[in-house]
Amino acid sequence: MSHHAPNGNANGEIFRDYIDDRNAKAQDTLYTTSNGVPYPHPYETQRVGENGPLLLQDFHLIDLLSHFDRERIPERVVHAKGSGAHGYYKTTDSLEDLCLADIFKAGKECPITIRFSTVGGESGSHDCARDPRGFSVKFRTDEGNWDMVANNTPVFFLRDPAKFPHFIHTQKRNPATHLTHADDSTVFWDYLSQNPESIHQVMVLMGDRGIPDGYRFMHGYSGHTLKLVNKEGEWVYVQFHMKSKQGTKFITQEDSASKSPDYSQKDLFYAIENKDFPGWDLSVQTMTPKQAEELWEKQKINVFDLTHIWPQGQFPLRKVGEFFLNENVQNYFAEIEQVAFNPSHLVPGIEPSADPVLQSRLFSYPDTHRHRIGVNYQQLPVNATRTPYRIANFQRDGSMAFYNQGSRPNYLSSIEPISFRSRSVDLNKAHGHFIGEAVTFLSEIRPEDFNAPRALWEKVFDDGAKERFVGNVSGHMANCTDKEIIKRQIAIFREVSEDLASRLEKATGVKGYPGISELRFNGTHNGFAKSEKLRNANSMTEKVAIPDSNGAPVVGTHKGIA
């Protein structure tokens, strides 16, 4: 016999509604303990007499304190300090010729949530730190959530995935002194001077784009290469760009000290509050598999390399859509601290490439979320999908299983069968034929790694930008206690430009090495080395076979496709 509540609902249907709770005014609520029992005053405590010890039976106090003790979930290891808001995306220019994703049909719209962030600092650190910025967008499409987990720079410091934890450690506090690189930049420059493929990102970081003027005045880039697959099963490589409709602005190193620690948060919140809604254009660069092979053969640009860019003159941007932020969050913790972005949240028609750092992130991001906010993190309202169909799977239980799928079978049942949709992407065709032996791979520094940074110095930076760059680098290096590290780093800058290296020598008072051909690096093989003894990365005494491709897609990689 089923019991019903006074409102006619079955008892199993009575639950707190998230939307109702989120939008309720304080005046409409009643003070209770966590188990819903009304309580007369939040400041009361039970004690023995007027001056005796407290009582363990005082559930209200124990409830209050024990929840307070647990109010912080672990902050993100990377991108801990961030801001965000809600909005909408709309496809303005169909991409159906290249991609079968429903969201890329002309006129399609979906709600989005964006989180911007710094990278290295803790959750209480300064918004105006010299640091890359995270730029993550959750597109809640009709086919499930697609997360674009991007940065405001088109490249990154590394292309070998195993370097990532090590690199981030060098951006954090020193384990002995507990100081950041604002006070002691030794480990910061030690890493960079041993891993010269970071040079393009260093040029961006130490240049004007290193401190964007809040989050509204910066672009976003996927950085990684992905794939688009169309209805015919044909595919192309793609890079996504999100171009600010507000343009870009930067803050100088000197001006950054005068800004509020929460400058970017304040700027974003009040712009939206004042109905000055920021927007971005979503555009793509695309490349056929054949073009990707030719790009390596002719120009030594590797589409699987996070430190390389695709020249926009050869691969122009094509606008697909635009998005705007028009709604501030009601509760920062629920909607921004708990929002979880994952580069493996892809919809049919968007696929990963063989970019090794992307491949490692496909695992690392959801693994982080399961640790930080729990195995059922996608049940949190801010992470939940908004599909027109009712979703189901055979994942059950675990911490905080809120939607646990009722009495439905938790296996593939023939008694109560679940529905399936036909496959829309032939994965056998959409992915390459990877046939080979298992190899251990570490990339090599090559002349091509300096082409884009050199163009940045010689063709993009004007005289003022060059002066600021030298001032930013030399000022930061002033806190580096080891002159050998500075000599090595200047040698890397010398491969970019003799002009740049000599300016830094003058600014730092340190004479750098004449180049990197006489150096050995602990983080990368040295393709410039004059001696075979210097070519292998430190500690590798055996002769290492370094492939000519350096991990790029060579001719024949896309057998039967290119």
Which residues lie across from 212 on neighbouring strands?
250
DSSP symbols for 295-323? HHHHH---TT-TT----TTTS--EEEEEE
Q: What is the pLDDT of residues 456-506, one digit of tens each?
A: 999 999 999 999 999 999 999 999 999 999 999 999 999 999 999 999 999
Tokens at residue 554, please?
């060579």
Q: Which residue in 60, 79, 308, 525 is the catalytic one?
A: 79
Q: Does the annotation place 377 within a ligand binding site? A: no
Cα 122 from Cα 261, distance rounded (Å): 12
Q: What is the pLDDT of residues 211-252, one digit of tens each?
A: 999 999 999 999 999 999 999 999 999 999 999 999 999 999
If one looks up domain 82-155+211-374 in CATH, what number appears? Answer: 2.40.180.10
Cβ atoms of 347 and 101 closer than 8 Å: yes
**C-alpha pair distances (Å), 233 with each of 108, 286, 303, 304, 348:** 22, 16, 21, 21, 11
Cβ atoms of 312 and 561 closer than 8 Å: no
* Closest to 404 measured CA to CA, from 123, 12, 135: 12
Q: What is the pLDDT of residues 276-286, one digit of tens each?
A: 999 999 999 99
Q: Is 331 a catalytic residue?
A: no
pLDDT at 345 over 60: yes
Q: Which residue in 60, 145, 151, 342 is the catalytic one?
A: 151
* Closest to 233 measured CA to CA, from 103, 106, 423, 105: 423
Q: What is the pLDDT of residues 307-332, one digit of tens each?
A: 999 999 999 999 999 999 999 999 99
Average pLDDT, whole number, for the chain? 92
List alpha helices for 24-90, DSSP H.
59-68
Quick count: other Cβ atoms within 10 Å of Cβ 419? Answer: 7
Q: What is the pTM of this model?
A: 0.93
Q: Is 302 a catalytic residue?
A: no
Tokens at residue 137, please?
């967008």
Q: Are strands 444-445 and 525-526 parallel, antiparallel or unpaired?
A: parallel
Domain residue ranges in the chain: 82-155+211-374
Cα 104 from Cα 169, distance rounded (Å): 39
